[in-house]
Homo-oligomer: A and B are copies of this chain.
């Protein structure tokens, strides 16, 4: 008998393709406006077209790809206003988180935040830019995770991932790194249970980051080689850095 493994029921393959495309998106390897056709992707990944199809639609449902009926999937090309809206949503969500956090702050939470701030300071002092960027985003994740509400954590996670993708379009070289002392000011306000100050500081902080957005490049929506993008993806698995 020849191998009749045509329907091979491999749920891990879906996830692998999904993670690969998502990773390429988050790392900015897929430029805004790039067309993601099903057939080429199926060839690149060596899987059936239906699998690619399912993953593409899933990414579309998550608003990470722009799906147009009968016309396929494209990497979204966000307007500056789009990005501002995502940032505003982030800002609004964090204000709400702070309003809840001031009612729950305890020494343990403050200690953990202080530890995180120390890490950020250390990374900034030794000029470790990559770590600084990562920790800078992780700070806001810490804040929402402190509430222990998966719903809120997921919301912020979506917002963060989308804004990071968007920023890669508008902030090509200068990575958006939050100023550590602004984070420290938020923690200080929390320590004083001063909600108004915490919200004000957080708001200023976000507006500060938002102000750096510059529209520099727009083009290159055309022929990108998908194989060149997904081929060098090595079988490394460790992406998650410890956060908490």
Contacts and interface: CB of A to CB of B under 8 A. Distances in A.
7 contacts: A11-B69, A61-B61, A85-B150, A88-B152, A89-B155, A96-B99, A155-B155
A195 interface: yes
B88 A95 contact: no
A147 interface: yes
Q: Which label, helix, strand, loop or mixed, suits the secondary structure of the A interface?
A: helix
A92 B85 contact: no
Nearest to A97: B92
A199 B95 CA distance: 11
A95 B95 CA distance: 7
Most buried by B among A86, A91, A93, A151: A151
Interface in A88-130: 88-89, 91-97, 99-100
Contact of A93 (B96, B195, B199): B96
A152 B85 CA distance: 9
A4 interface: no
A151 B86 contact: yes
